Structure 1
């Protein structure tokens, strides 16, 4: 499954009683290409893209995009929790005798680089969400 697709499905879920109304929209070849690009980027069908876009509370933000943002937040949370666990293990070893054992120095360097990269990823996510707001 592609990254970030765990919380989405291509088609909308069925509703009780079915959908009673159908709308036909004619588009030019250029508009069709644009719709296909956007729908494929979000991993949804064109009808779903049109419905979600039209009914979105905030212009430019669909339910699919919000689910993707939520999935990214969960990924960031899991990554930060794992980094915190690594730092706690290193701190526990350092507190035992007041020094960082040689075998943990490389791990500390790697963990701190991962913390910096994670902070940049969080900053990037915040910037991306802010641009949409």
Structure 2
């Protein structure tokens, strides 16, 4: 857990005043709230970073995890199709390319999550 810096402790010694329109202020507040950071941190990260910020990375990972869950749901539906096919002794030919494409997407998504870090965060069920 992070500790707050004591008011007298050395640290930031400069401040800047920014004048915004009400629309700009609302947009900054909305984006900061969505990213779970302060407006000040959002401004500093945006202005001083040419690379991906920790906030950008977290947002991307959350999106990828959401996609992973959705693809897991699709995989579950495909498994239901397979069960039915086993009972009836026939797998629908139209479903075969969908299954193969879904498996390829799961592998790509798992690799993307692994490359971004966050070990142990993979939701399982992915084809590796």
Normalised TM-score (structure 1): 0.50
Residue aligning to 1:41? 31
**In the aligned structure 1, how far is the partner of 2:12 from the partner of 2:4?**
13
Is 1:82 matched with 2:81?
Answer: no
Query: Residue 72 of structure 1: SS of its match in structure 2?
Result: helix
In 2, are the aligned partners of 1:35 and 1:46 still within 8 Å (CA)? no
Other-structure match for 1:27: 18
TM-score scaled by length of structure 2: 0.52
Aligned length: 90
**CA spacing shift, 1:82–1:47, aligned 2, 3 Å:** same
Change (3 A) 1:15 1:87: same
How far apart are 1:22 and its partner, in Å? 3.1
Q: Is the 8 A contact 2:29 2:39 kept in 1?
A: yes
- Asked if the contact 1:52–1:62 (Cα under 8 Å) also holds between the matched residues in 2, the reply is yes
CA contact (8 A) 1:36 1:46 kept: no
How far apart are 1:89 and its partner, in Å?
Answer: 2.1
8 A contact 2:32–2:39 mirrored in 1 = no
Could you list the runs of 5+ residues in structure 2 that have no partner in the other structure?
99-104, 106-128
Give the gaps of 5 or more residues in structure 1: 1-12, 101-107, 113-118, 120-133
